[in-house]
Amino acid sequence: MDHTKLLCDISELNHLFRDSVSVENFLQQITEMVSSHMQTEVCSIYLYDNDEEILTLKATKGLNHEMIGKITLALGEGLTGISLKELRPINISNATQHPDNKLFLGTGEQDYESFLAVPIARGVERIGVMVLQRQQSHTFSDSDVLACKAVASQLANIIENARFIISMHSEHEEKAHPTVKESQSRLIHGKVASEGYCLGETLVLDKEKTFNSLLQRRFTRLYTIKDFKKAVKQTENQLEEMQEEVEEKLSDAASLIFASHLLILKDHEFIGQMENMIALGTNPPQAILQIAKKYMDIFDKAQNIFVREKVQDIEDLTVRLISNITSDQEIVPNYRGKVIIARDIFPSELLKMTSEKIGGIILVSGGVTSHLSILASSLAIPMVIANDLTLLKVANKTKVLLDAETGNIYLKPKQDVIDEFQRRNKQKEKILQLEHNVKGETLTSDSQKITLLANINLLGDISLAKKVKCEGVGLYRTEFPFIVRNNFPSEQEQYVTYRKLVTSMKGQPVIFRTLDVGGDKMLSYYHNTIEQNPAIGMRSIRFSLENKDVFIQQIRAILRAGEGENLKIMFPMISSIDEFDAAKSIVLECIDSLHNESEGFNSKPAIGMMIELPSVVELIDDFAKEADFFSIGTNDFIQFMLGVDRTNEKVASFYMPYHPSVLRAMKTIVESVQAHGKEISVCGSMSSDEKYIKFLLGIGLRVLSVNPSHLPRIQKVINSIAISDAQAYATELVSQKRACDVARLMALQD
C-alpha cells in the first residue's frame, strides 16, 4: 500500500490544526483519515498526561464514542500502555487472546483481532499512542507500521504545540468541579486484589474530614448531661453489638477488635473530663469534641503506629458519640453495601467494615499480593487497587460498578454497561456451578496424581476449602489473628483456634506456617518504630527468634493443637541453615518441655521451611538434608529475586513471575529437593494462577497449595495437561534468557 498520500494529508493538518478551535475535533479528523486510508475498522488516539501518569482515549473512529475521555490506562498497562512505556510499536494478530490485552466493556473492542499500537513521542518524551484495529486476524505489514510511525511522529509535533491548550482545558475543568462530581460515566482501570464484584455507591474514607467538619459545626440546640450519658450508653451498646457480629463470623481474628473503643469509652478520665466541662456549662457535643481533640493532638505526635491507630479509634468514637447525642444518622457513615475508596486501610479497619457489610473496596495505593489484599480475599470482599488519586475526590454516593474480576471501575456506569456486566456474571455463575463439580483426586491427562492443598488465612476459609475437596492445608498463615488484634493472643487462645483448624481437616495434613509478621504485616501493638525497609527488616522468622517468648507460645500452641493429627510446622523467610537450626531447636525444646507436662501434644511434627529468599538457592542441596519438607513462597521469592516491592503498584510491571532467573531457580530447587527424597510444594500466588500450572508440573512439582476459591479452576487445568508435554514446555521456558521471550512462549499456549 502506498502511504504517501496519507502523509501529505497529515501535514496539511498542521494548517488545519491552527484554525481548529478544538484539539479533540482535530484528533478525531486524524483518526478518520488514518482509518480510511489504512482500511482499518478502528483508529484511536490516546494522549498521555505526564503529571497524572495516565493515558486517556481522546479520539476514535470505530469504537464507541461515549468512551472518549473515560477509558484510562496507566503507563505499561495493556498493550497500549506497554507500547508507550517501552516506546515501541506492538503488532499482533490475536489481540483478544493476548494476556496483556485489556478489553473494556462497552467499547466493542472484543470484535477486533489485529492490533497495532504506535507510540507518539518526541525523543523519550511520551505524548500518546495511536492504535489501529481490524477484525481479521492478521498482523499489520511492515509498510503499514512504518507509515503509522511517520504519522505518529508528525502528530507528536502538532500535539506538543497543542499541549498548553489541552492542559488549559483540564485546569478549567478542575476549577469548575473541585470535588469532582462525576457528570458523566468514567472508567478507571485498576488491578484485582480480591475477586468479586459490586454495584453500589461510593464512600470516600476521609475520617479527618468528617471530624474537622464536626469541629466547625455550631450546635444550636442545647443538650443535657442526661442526653450525654444516654449517648455514651447507646454508643457502648452499638459497639458491643458490632463486636458480637464480627466475632460470630471470624472467631479467630476478630476477638476484641472494638476493645479499644470500648475501653476509651469506659475511661474515667476521658468521659470524666467531658462531664466536668458539661457541668461547667459547655454544650455536650462541644465538650465531646474539645476533649477528644485534646487527646488526639497528644497521640498524633507519637511515632508509634499503635498510638497513631488510637487517634483513629478516638475519631471514630467521637463521631459516633456526636451522632448519637444529636440523633443525626448522617454523621456516622453507613458502610452497608458501599464501595469504599481509600488511600490505605488498617487490617483491623477492614474487619470492622466487614462487620458492617461493605460492598467492596478501591484502594489508591498498595499491591495485589499485599496482605490487605490477602485478607480481603479471605473475607470475600471485592477489592481493586487503582493508581489514580482523582478517585479520592469522587463525590460520595456516586454510583459505581466495581468489577474486581477484571479490575475495571465504572463510575456512573451506563445501563448498557450494567446489563452487559450482569449478563457476563450470569454466564460465569453457570460455569462456576460446573466447576464446583470438583473431584477428590486431581489427575493429569496422563493419570499422574497431583495433590491440591488449600491456603488458609482465617478459619472462615475452611468451609470453602472443604467444599472444593482440598487434600489438606498447605499453608496456614498463622499471623492473621495476630495482625488484626490489639495485643498478642495467649497460648491458650491460639490453641483453641489451631485446634479448630486441625480437627476440621480430619486427619489430612495441616502445615502451620509460624508467625510471619513485619513487612506489610505490622503488629500495631509491637512495631513501635518505623523501619526504613520493613520488607527486609525485623520480620518473619527473625522476629520470632528475636522474640522467643512469643515464638515459644506459638509453637507450644501448635504442638498441643496437633495432638494425634498430621502436623507439619514450617518456618517462613529462612535465609540460612543456621537460622533453620535455631528455629528447629526451639520446636525441639518445646517438645521436651511438653513431655514434662500433662497436656497432650504432637511430639513428631514434620519440620519444614519456606523458600522465599534467593540465598537458599545456592545452598539448596544442604538445606534438603536438614528440613523435612519445603514450600516455595513465590510472592516473596519473586520480590527478593527481582528486587521488586510486591506491595508497590508502581513497580508492578517489574514483578515478573516469568523472569528466566525465577523459573531457572525454581527448577533447580525442585530437582535438588526431590533428589533428596523430600517433599516440595508451591504455596505462593503462582500456584493459584492457571498460566503457570503447566510450568510447575513440568519442573516436577506434584503438590500445589492454592487459594480455595481457585482450586476448581486449577484442577480443571491440571486435568488437561500431560506430564510429558509439561516437561518439554518447562524445558523450553527455562532455556530462554529474556523475560519477553518467555512471555511470548507462554502467550502461545493460551
The residues carrying an active-site annotation are: 371, 683
Alpha carbon 494 to chain centroid, angstroms:
27
Tell me whether residue 185 or residue 544 sits nearer to ligand PEP (CB atom). Answer: 544
Please pick, from the candidates 119, 633, 698, 712, the single residue that binds Mg ion as defined by CB under 5 A: 633
Tell me whether residue 216 or residue 533 sits nearer to ligand PEP (CB atom). Answer: 533
Backbone angles phi, psi at 110, to 5 degrees: -65, -15
Tell me whether residue 195 or residue 636 sits nearer to ligand PEP (CB atom). Answer: 636
Report the nearest approach of ligand PEP to the CB of residue 479 (Å): 8
Contact set with ligand PEP (CB under 6 A) = 475, 477, 516, 612, 633-636, 683-684
Tell me whether residue 78 or residue 633 sits nearer to ligand PEP (CB atom). Answer: 633
Report the nearest approach of ligand PEP to the CB of residue 668 (Å): 18
CA angle 601, 603, 606 (to 5 degrees): 115
Report the nearest approach of ligand PEP to the CB of residue 472 (Å): 16
Residues 577-616 vs Mg ion: string with x where CB under 5 A?
----------------------------------------
The C-alpha cell 440523633 sits at: 327
User: With contact defined as beta carbons under 8 Å apart, do 484 and 347 qualify?
Assistant: yes
**Residue 109 contacts which entry, Mg ion, ligand PEP, none (Cβ below 5-8 A, type-dependent):** none
Amino acid at 299: F
Tell me whether residue 359 or residue 657 sits nearer to ligand PEP (CB atom). Answer: 657
- If one asks whether residue 518 binds Mg ion (CB under 5 A), the answer comes out as no
Report the nearest approach of ligand PEP to the CB of residue 285 (Å): 45
H helices of 599-710, in order, are: 615-618, 620-626, 634-642, 660-675, 690-698
C-alpha distance from residue 650 to each of 128, 451, 533 (Å): 19, 35, 17
User: With contact defined as beta carbons under 8 Å apart, do 346 and 522 qualify?
Assistant: no
**Residue 477 contacts which entry, ligand PEP, Mg ion, none (Cβ below 5-8 A, type-dependent):** ligand PEP
User: With contact defined as beta carbons under 8 Å apart, do 563 and 601 qualify?
Assistant: yes
Neighbours of 617 (CB within 10 A): 18
For the chain, give percent helix, strand, coil, nearest 5.
Answer: 50, 15, 35
Tell me whether residue 461 or residue 636 sits nearer to Mg ion (CB atom). Answer: 636
**Residue 296 contacts which entry, Mg ion, ligand PEP, none (Cβ below 5-8 A, type-dependent):** none
Tell me whether residue 57 or residue 669 sits nearer to ligand PEP (CB atom). Answer: 669
User: With contact defined as beta carbons under 8 Å apart, do 601 and 564 qualify?
Assistant: no
C-alpha distance from residue 254 to each of 137, 358, 377, 497 (Å): 53, 16, 16, 12
Report the nearest approach of ligand PEP to the CB of residue 191 (Å): 16
Report the nearest approach of ligand PEP to the CB of residue 21 (Å): 54
Tell me whether residue 119 or residue 572 sits nearer to ligand PEP (CB atom). Answer: 572
β-strands 54-61, 72-74: how paired?
antiparallel
Provide the grid cell at 426: 450470569
Provide the grid cell at 423: 449478563
Helix (H, G, I), strand (E, B) or coil at 112: coil
Q: What is the 3-state secondary structure (H, E, C) of 691-736?
A: HHHHHHHHCCCCEEEECHHHHHHHHHHHHCCCHHHHHHHHHHHHCC
Q: Which residue is nearest to Mg ion (CB)?
A: 636
- If one asks whether residue 520 binds Mg ion (CB under 5 A), the answer comes out as no
Task: Return d(Cα 518, Cα 525) in angstroms, integer.
Answer: 12
Positions in the binding site for Mg ion (CB under 5 A): 633, 636
